[in-house]
Structure 1
Amino acid sequence: MSEQTISGSSVDAPSKLRGSIGVGGIVFMVVAAAAPLTAIGGALPVMLAIGNGPGVPAAYLLVAVVLLLFSVGYAAMSRHVVDTGAFYSYVTAGLGRITGTGAAGLALLTYSTIQAGIYGLSGVTLQGPVVKYGGPDLPWWLWAGVLWGLVAVLGFRNIEVGTKVLSVLLVLEVGIVTVMTVAILVQGGAHGIDFASFTPGAFSTGSAGIGVMFAVASFVGFEATAIYSEEARDPKRSVPRATYLAVVAIGGFYALSSWAVVLAVGTEEVQGAAAKNTSGLVFAVAGQYVGSAASDTMEVLLLTSLFAALLAFHNAISRYLFSLGRQGDAPAVLGRSHAKHGSPHAGSLVQSVSAAVVVGAFVLAGSDPVLELFTWMSGLATLGVLVLMILVGVAIITFFARTGADTRLWHTRLAPALGALGLCWITFMVLANFTTLIGGSTSLARLFEGIVVLFFAAGAISGAVRRRRDA
């Protein structure tokens, strides 16, 4: 399969996206989707409380190593497959159209559910400061609706507009966490600097499986390096570099920041402290080591972090729909770019509507926006992205074995195989602790696992029908 066929370079101009983002812009989009402040301020205390406590930094490093192995083959593949579909396009190139459209179904499920969950968390997060500073006490879903409108407008326009917005927000949130981290390390934490968090004993403290699960969730959006390949100045160079940089940046930042929080409270005391003050632990640490102004600033930037993630996932989903439409696996209108903005405007509109429908369903059901909407959708997305990456790993090995496009053993065989095996092990850990991850019952966990299978099957059936129709 040639690059021209996969990338769609032979199609008319209205079916191509425009942009000139470089390595830095792509990395910004990926890291924005990872929502650093949301992970450190929101997910980290939960990991410390019910996961492996002081061993959380090691969990981040472990997941980063597995994803770096995966990235070797992923980066090699990006030189031969240039398409906004990324995972979908890679699986199609390696395992065929039917499996590829099944992977597309999984990708749409993954990003749609995590985005819907973030709408719930962001609505509550915005509601708090508004009331705190004398604003109206309105339902969380109205504030989520305000954010939804902003995302819809920015997602409709050219990618460079969204990149500029995300860059500013990302610099601010990374900056405040960095200030806190440096302050803790300079002051020596609660009992001095130690490296106990990176030992096997600390990693196995409590439930290591839950710690690893949350660490994986923190990397959701990782494939966006390839999603923006058509809008990059030099995709064959930009995508591989951005992939490695994104994994190292996310993994290193989370490991260092979480280690600092552990030191700030104390290696022996951190798990208990997180259990007592899960929602406010990191803000309390920032207030103690930097000052009350830093704590207040962090609360505000948590909201911008969530907004950045909403926009990043919206962009990823709209480009998936664009790729599916262009390849003939979805209505053709989705595969047409905007005449002025060069954006996947049709896919953006569809995603805006679907997000409103999913969140609206939870609102009508009277569901809790954090304990149910955010928690359940995050768990479903974590499982979906793991299965998706395993498929991609197998597809990469198969593609190079069949085509001989790249004969480097490490890049096309060994690293992808080790990465896929690591992802299989992590998936096993997720399934073993899935009920805890979603905070629900066993029957709910089985339902969500069934939904993952259902979306893959629906996508695969769609591909099979399309192939028979073409034949």
Structure 2
Amino acid sequence: MPEATLPDESLTAKTAAPPEGRRLHGNLGVASIVFMVVAAAAPLGVIGGVVPLGLANGNGAGFPATFIVATVILLLFSVGFTAMTPHVEEAGAFFSYVRKALGFPAGIGIAFVAIVSYVALEAGVYGLLGPAGGAIVELFGGPAIPWWAFAAAAFAVTTYLGYRNIELSSRVLAVLLTAEIAIVAILDLVIVAQGGDHGLSSGIVNPQAIFSGSLGIGLLFAIISYVGFEATAIFRDEARTPERTIPRATYVSLLLIGIFYAITSWALVSGWGDEQAIAHATDNGGTFLGDTAARYIGTVGADVITVLYFTSLFACILAFHNVASRYIFALAQKDVLPASLSAPHTKHGSPHQASLWISAVVAVSVVAAVLFDLDPAAQFYTWFAGTTTVGIVVLLIATSVAVLVFFGKDRRGYSQWRVRIAPALGLAGLLGSLGLILANLSDLVGGSSVLAWVILGVLVGAFAAGVAVGSKVGTR
């Protein structure tokens, strides 16, 4: 019999739960986490921005069905993800799952990819928020104001809320999210009640419509729309009974997002008629939602949506700021980053130092965009969003592999479906989605193949740097 060996003490210390003095605390329930996760997905931003793109460039009137397909893929992913949750005792989200199954260096590599992805989106969305703020001022007869002025104001509020207790952010997000969902729900109800323009669209269930145009591009835009749902696990230490709260919040968030997107996109198509909806989305994508609202709920309704579009983008920024801050906090707990970043605020219990660090990186990004005179939406947002899209799907794929490896030899009492079949099906769907995204990445970032390769290089470099750092820290 081979001689028994003891685990490496330094590596065990890095992978064990952090000491009490370096952990966050809170009392978040399912509803609070769902509000933050759904806000990160920016549902009004998706309805006003992504849906017209999907109708125009994807599979037309069949595009609403792609949200159903995307929801199924991500639900399959979540089956294994939530099964592993009770076995991951730390609030590091994806990197904790990967670390648990694939080792400390791989986990830190994935953590670096996650930070790049989330910070890129937080910074990039300021490029949408600035012009949206200017549109509100001009709507009410005010002067044209530079986009960066609104970005600076939103940045200050985000930094303040990120410094404070997470429950304050949760309450702010709850109000904003409720308002934006309510106005779109009203629009949906009015369209359906009136029977649409030429009757209610059958494209969502019509195979001929679903497979028309480019189904691949349609699925690509659908997958992009869910970025943020996966953040439930990052709030583990601040959740009430996380073993139950995190899985429930994950499923509720996914179902809420998926149902909302599918029904609303179907209603918008119905509001114009299949052919006219595609034509209008192609010619007037930027005003598609507002034009539909003006048509069915009047000018006042369209104006309300214009305002709530701005607040939806702010909610997205705040949600991703909280997620990115907690990634930094979790890495500091593992001594990958300075220990000071993992000291909670003595009064608010927040990751205040990590939050300020994220704010500093975002500030540099926005200032650079202004100094280099980048178009806030067509360049700044698009480039950063392209980075996030690839990064998040890579994170989902890595976590799916981690789940399959973790339960590979021992199902730990779960069924084959829960820990092997469903995760494998989800992984297959995610790999297909990544293939579609990579094949069309240059189109997502303004048609530049060079920029597409730069984005891939940044993500690969982040992973390699994380692995190198994780290997060094794990041997201390």
Range into which the TM-score falls when normalised by the shorter chain: over 0.9
2:19 aligns to what? Answer: 11
1:297 aligns to what? Answer: 304
2:354 aligns to what? Answer: 347
Q: CA deviation at 1:216?
A: 1.5
1:225 aligns to what? Answer: 232
The question of whether the paired residues in 1 share the 8 Å contact of 2:17 and 2:89 is answered with: no
Q: CA deviation at 1:401?
A: 2.5
Q: CA deviation at 1:204?
A: 2.5
Q: Give the Cα–Cα distance (whole angstroms) in 2 for the partners of residues 95 and 50 of structure 1.
A: 38
The question of whether the paired residues in 1 share the 8 Å contact of 2:121 and 2:388 is answered with: yes
Q: CA deviation at 1:421?
A: 0.9
Q: Does 1:210 align with 2:217?
A: yes
Question: The residue matched to 1:285 in structure 2 has which SS?
Answer: helix
Moved over 6 A (4+): 4-7
Question: The residue matched to 2:204 in structure 1 has which SS?
Answer: helix
The question of whether the paired residues in 2 share the 8 Å contact of 1:400 and 1:406 is answered with: no
Which of 226, 248, 256 is residue 255 of structure 2 equivalent to?
248
2:104 aligns to what? Answer: 97
2:4 aligns to what? Answer: none
- TM-score calculated relative to the size of structure 2: 0.95
Unaligned ranges ≥5, structure 1? none
2:364 aligns to what? Answer: 357
Q: CA deviation at 1:288?
A: 1.0
The question of whether the paired residues in 1 share the 8 Å contact of 2:201 and 2:273 is answered with: no
1:456 aligns to what? Answer: 463
Q: CA deviation at 1:200?
A: 2.9
Q: CA deviation at 1:81?
A: 1.1
Cα deviation code 1:159-181 (max 9, x no counterpart): 10000000000000000010001
The question of whether the paired residues in 1 share the 8 Å contact of 2:15 and 2:104 is answered with: no
Which of 319, 325, 346 is residue 312 of structure 1 equivalent to?
319
Question: The residue matched to 1:280 in structure 2 has which SS?
Answer: helix
Q: CA deviation at 1:310?
A: 0.5
With 164-173 and 119-128 compared, the bigger mean Cα shift is at: 119-128
Cα deviation code 1:417-440 (max 9, x no counterpart): 111111001111111111111223
CA RMSD of aligned residues (A): 1.6
The residue identity in structure 2 corresponding to 1:177 is: V
The question of whether the paired residues in 2 share the 8 Å contact of 1:210 and 1:437 is answered with: no
1:180 aligns to what? Answer: 187
1:40 aligns to what? Answer: 47
Which of 267, 272, 281 is residue 279 of structure 2 equivalent to?
272
The question of whether the paired residues in 1 share the 8 Å contact of 2:33 and 2:232 is answered with: yes
1:143 aligns to what? Answer: 150
Q: Does 1:119 align with 2:126?
A: yes
Q: CA deviation at 1:26?
A: 0.8
The question of whether the paired residues in 1 share the 8 Å contact of 2:46 and 2:225 is answered with: yes
The residue identity in structure 1 corresponding to 2:74 is: L
Q: Give the Cα–Cα distance (whole angstroms) in 1 for the partners of residues 373 and 34 of structure 2.
A: 37
Cα deviation code 1:17-54 (max 9, x no counterpart): 11101001111111000111111012211221222221
Q: CA deviation at 1:408?
A: 2.4
Which of 279, 285, 289 is residue 292 of structure 2 equivalent to?
285
Q: Give the Cα–Cα distance (whole angstroms) in 1 for the partners of residues 333 and 387 of structure 2.
A: 28
The residue identity in structure 1 corresponding to 2:454 is: L
Unaligned ranges ≥5, structure 2? 1-6
- TM-score calculated relative to the size of structure 1: 0.96
The question of whether the paired residues in 2 share the 8 Å contact of 1:329 and 1:462 is answered with: yes
Question: The residue matched to 1:190 in structure 2 has which SS?
Answer: coil
> Structure 1's 280 and 420: CA in aligned 2 closer, same or farther, altered over 3 A?
same
The question of whether the paired residues in 2 share the 8 Å contact of 1:84 and 1:322 is answered with: no
1:159 aligns to what? Answer: 166
The residue identity in structure 1 corresponding to 2:274 is: T
The question of whether the paired residues in 2 share the 8 Å contact of 1:33 and 1:312 is answered with: yes
Question: The residue matched to 1:391 in structure 2 has which SS?
Answer: helix
> Structure 1's 453 and 156: CA in aligned 2 closer, same or farther, altered over 3 A?
same
The question of whether the paired residues in 1 share the 8 Å contact of 2:203 and 2:210 is answered with: no
> Structure 1's 205 and 438: CA in aligned 2 closer, same or farther, altered over 3 A?
farther
> Structure 1's 406 and 376: CA in aligned 2 closer, same or farther, altered over 3 A?
farther
Q: Give the Cα–Cα distance (whole angstroms) in 2 for the partners of residues 83 and 100 of structure 1.
A: 13
Question: The residue matched to 2:88 in structure 1 has which SS?
Answer: coil
Q: Give the Cα–Cα distance (whole angstroms) in 1 for the partners of residues 14 and 37 of structure 2.
A: 23
Q: Give the Cα–Cα distance (whole angstroms) in 1 for the partners of residues 473 and 330 of structure 2.
A: 15
Q: Give the Cα–Cα distance (whole angstroms) in 1 for the partners of residues 363 and 336 of structure 2.
A: 24
Q: Does 1:424 align with 2:431?
A: yes
> Structure 1's 403 and 340: CA in aligned 2 closer, same or farther, altered over 3 A?
farther
Residues paired across the two proteins, number? 466
1:380 aligns to what? Answer: 387
The residue identity in structure 2 corresponding to 1:83 is: E
Q: Does 1:236 align with 2:243?
A: yes
